[in-house]
Structure 1
Amino acid sequence: MALQQYPITDITHLIPQKTPFVMVDTLLDFSNTKVVSSFKINANNIFLKDNTLLESGLIENMAQTVALHTGYDFFLKNEEAPTGYIGSIKKIAILKLPVLNDIITTEVDILHEFNGVTMVAVKVFNTEKEEIASGEMKTVIAN
């Protein structure tokens, strides 16, 4: 397999979410233990209120970045991306909410992965590279 060039902007086949529920739009980097995504906050975002992305949208962006890691891993093995869900969320800190037209960058470190359960640490940065959110979550692949 050829060395992958990033960014990858056509990621719709890598995540189970579909419009209007998509909260990631670009794969910036990928390894076995890390994934980095970005997402532009557009006016038609369902989590946008008063030109600000709500907390729920930020958390969904975190979870979809984890899904992007799983989906791209499956894609590299020529397998279809599985559906998963958030198993648990802990230690979420939201320091600042992104606004309309911001491009947020989400970095996920895979802490543990076993039998379809993935534990991760997540950090989200705004356009100015300022950390705006962080947390830990567990995602589970649905059978």
Structure 2
Amino acid sequence: MALLEKPITNIEHLIPQKAPFVMVDSLLGFSDTNVISSLRVLETNIFFENKVLSESGLVENMAQTVALHTGYDYFLKGSPAPTGYIGSIKKIEISMLPQLNETIKTEAHILHEFMGVTLVEITVLSSKNETIASGIMKTVIAS
């Protein structure tokens, strides 16, 4: 998958989440079946505790990366980003939590997409490009 020529940092219109619940900062890469986002861990993040982004924050970052893919796809087609939710989590593995001011990169690969239900495989990478979390989840577009 190709990275975008320039990261898209104005993403508020591409995801349904609003501050302070936004867990993605920018769109780095996009294709029909893949997306790459980034997030800088800040002290003001609602999931920041004990000097790290919590497990809940990582899971929400994964889900919002998928939402970013859907929202950008809708944007390219001239429609507003739809609202969705996590339908199920099949497996999540977290080996390390990102620290204050670390920028993580989250990559999602769409395995299947049918009638608003998307099955994705997701990997979160540290600023050192090491896998710190991975999982498989389904997201569902609200009708």
Query: After TM superposition, is the score higher than 0.5?
Result: yes
- Matching residue of 2:90: 90
**In the aligned structure 1, how far is the partner of 2:5 from the partner of 2:140?**
28
Q: 8 Å contact 1:6–1:27 — kept in the other structure?
A: no
> 1:118 and 2:122 equivalent?
no
- Matching residue of 1:137: 137
- Matching residue of 1:80: 80
Give the SS at the match of 1:5. strand
- Matching residue of 2:13: 13
> 1:58 corresponds to which letter in structure 2?
L
**In the aligned structure 2, how far is the partner of 1:85 from the partner of 1:5?**
29
- Matching residue of 2:63: 63
Tell me how far 1:5 sits from its aligned partner: 3.2
Deviating beyond 4 angstroms after TM superposition, the runs of 4 or more aligned structure 1 residues are none
Tell me how far 1:6 sits from its aligned partner: 2.8
Q: 8 Å contact 1:6–1:29 — kept in the other structure?
A: no
**In the aligned structure 2, how far is the partner of 1:137 from the partner of 1:91?**
7
**In the aligned structure 2, how far is the partner of 1:91 from the partner of 1:77?**
32
Give the SS at the match of 1:59. helix
Give the SS at the match of 2:22. coil
- Cα RMSD between the aligned structures? 0.8
> 1:45 and 2:45 equivalent?
yes
- Matching residue of 2:22: 22
The answer for unaligned runs of 5 or more in structure 1 is none
> 1:44 corresponds to which letter in structure 2?
T
Tell me how far 1:103 sits from its aligned partner: 0.2
> 1:31 and 2:40 equivalent?
no
Give the SS at the match of 1:19. coil
> 2:17 corresponds to which letter in structure 1?
Q
**In the aligned structure 2, how far is the partner of 1:56 from the partner of 1:70?**
21
Q: 8 Å contact 1:85–1:141 — kept in the other structure?
A: yes
Tell me how far 1:90 sits from its aligned partner: 1.4
**In the aligned structure 2, how far is the partner of 1:81 from the partner of 1:48?**
27
